[in-house]
């Protein structure tokens, strides 16, 4: 086999440009194919792949005729279910298709065998030719070697000179398979939603209703990336409430700091949520925000007693400082007598 391959390379180099080079080159190619394909029962699919990679590259610089029967045999051999040399066999078929041309194959058969062999790059060429761009997405997220490139392909379609029908189909496919995109890269998925699919955010949220942890991770990225945006779809109050509710479940310690800087939520609804979740700091902040100082102080005081009861000495001082700051912030609404009473109560509790 190596002797025949060397002879083809030498023939190509020596006779290139000569009027007689084609017949000589063609004879050697035919012999090589006959030996390895028709008589070479002992050659492995990987070795056949090497042969056709070699021929595909020769085809670029030297024209020769390749009988379709050999292409069919090559396809059968390369697309075998043999697990060895998968990448090399796919690359060999890919080079053959790109060099010789897809029209030289039975397209339906090529696609069926490529799908079965998981030759996703070959499938992509056929889907692109058929303008079945949504199916190309499945090629990307099924191909572990190119899975991270799916986002680039989506932007390529959404920002490219494609019809609205094509873009709508891509958007619908992405939304229906949002879980796959999140699994690939959560942050890139959030960015994609903000840039291209913001109008579908509500639909995506309800699709992930039975996957709360996944939904929370996605919304974390969406709200972090979208800070300052004026997009009404992202600033949907109901979605914001869902996000805060999930935060209270998975990261309750983040709720109070978040409420202090966030906007676009309804205090009454979130206050009820915080009370149910026993988030006293957050509820106290909301009570104070709406002017219910007595209720706010009671909760701060409850937090202080809880830290003392649980012997969380590190947080006792922190909670006392919060209460002092609370009294100072609202000094114009509290009588001197009430301020002294509250501070004395706190001191006595810690004594």
| Other beta carbons less than 10 A from residue 292's beta carbon | 15
pLDDT value at position 230? 66
Provide mean pLDDT across the span 120-126: 96
Is it the case that residue 139 has pLDDT exceeding 70? yes
Total residues found in the chain within this entry: 351
Confidence tier at 126 by pLDDT (50, 70, 90): very high
DSSP conformation letters of 259-325: HHH--S--HHHHHHHHHHTT-HHHHHHHHHHTT-HHHHHHHHHHHHHHHHHTT-HHHHHHHHHHHHH
pLDDT tens-place string over residues 169-188:
999 999 999 999 999 999 99
Is it the case that residue 20 has pLDDT exceeding 60? no
- Per cent of the chain over pLDDT 90 is 47
Distance CA 220, CA 139 (A): 28
- Per cent of the chain over pLDDT 70 is 82
Calculate ∠ Cα 177-183-187, nearest 5°.
Answer: 100
pLDDT value at position 16? 44
With H, G, I as helix, E, B as strand and everything else as coil, classify residue 211: coil
Higher pLDDT, 150 or 88: 150
**Listed residue (197, 191, 195, 200) closest to 220, CA to CA:** 191
Termini Cα distance of the chain: 93
Is it the case that residue 1 has pLDDT exceeding 50? no
pLDDT tens-place string over residues 41-82:
677 777 777 777 777 777 665 677 777 887 888 888 888 777
Calculate ∠ Cα 263-266-268, nearest 5°.
Answer: 140
Is it the case that residue 7 has pLDDT exceeding 90? no
Q: Which residues are CB-contacts of 226 (< 8 A; sequence separation ≥ 6)?
A: 194, 234
Distance CA 44, CA 111 (A): 22
Compute the half-sphere exposure of residue 197: CA atoms within 13 Å on the CB side of its CA. 27
pLDDT value at position 96? 83
pLDDT value at position 233? 66
pLDDT tens-place string over residues 262-307:
888 999 999 999 999 999 999 999 999 998 988 888 898 888 888 8
Higher pLDDT, 325 or 331: 325
Is it the case that residue 143 has pLDDT exceeding 50? yes
pLDDT value at position 140? 96
């Amino acid at each position: 086999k190596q002797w025949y391959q060397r002879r083809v390379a030498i023939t190509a180099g020596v006779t290139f440009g000569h009027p007689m080079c084609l017949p000589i080159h063609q004879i050697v190619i035919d012999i090589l194919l006959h030996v390895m394909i028709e008589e070479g029962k002992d050659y492995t699919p990987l070795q056949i792949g090497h042969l056709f990679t070699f021929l595909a590259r020769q085809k670029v610089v030297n024209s020769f005729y390749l009988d379709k029967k050999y292409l069919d045999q090559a396809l059968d051999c390369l697309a075998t279910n043999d697990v060895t040399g998968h990448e090399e066999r796919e690359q060999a078929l890919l080079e053959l298709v790109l060099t010789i041309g897809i029209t030289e194959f039975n397209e339906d058969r090529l696609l069926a065998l490529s799908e079965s062999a998981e030759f996703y790059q070959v499938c992509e060429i056929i889907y692109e030719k058929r303008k079945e761009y949504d199916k190309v997405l499945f090629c990307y997220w099924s191909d572990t070697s190119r899975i991270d490139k799916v986002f680039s392909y989506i932007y390529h379609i959404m920002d490219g000179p494609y019809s609205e029908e094509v873009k709508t189909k891509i958007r619908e496919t992405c939304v229906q398979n949002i879980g796959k995109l999140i699994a690939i890269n959560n942050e890139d998925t959030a960015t994609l939603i903000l840039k291209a699919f913001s109008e579908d955010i509500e639909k995506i949220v309800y699709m992930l209703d039975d996957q709360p942890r996944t939904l929370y991770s996605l919304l974390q990225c969406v709200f972090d990336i979208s800070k300052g945006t004026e997009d009404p779809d992202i600033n949907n109050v109901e979605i914001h409430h869902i996000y805060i509710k999930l935060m209270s479940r998975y990261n309750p310690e983040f709720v109070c700091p978040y409420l202090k800087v966030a906007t676009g939520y309804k205090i009454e609804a979130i206050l009820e949520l915080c009370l149910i979740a026993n988030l006293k700091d957050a509820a106290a902040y909301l009570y104070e925000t709406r002017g219910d100082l007595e209720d706010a102080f009671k909760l701060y005081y409850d937090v202080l007693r809880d830290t003392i009861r649980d012997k969380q000495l590190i947080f006792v001082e922190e909670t006392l400082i919060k209460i002092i700051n609370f009294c100072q912030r609202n000094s114009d609404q509290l009588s001197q007598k009430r301020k002294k009473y509250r501070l004395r109560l706190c001191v006595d509790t810690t004594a």
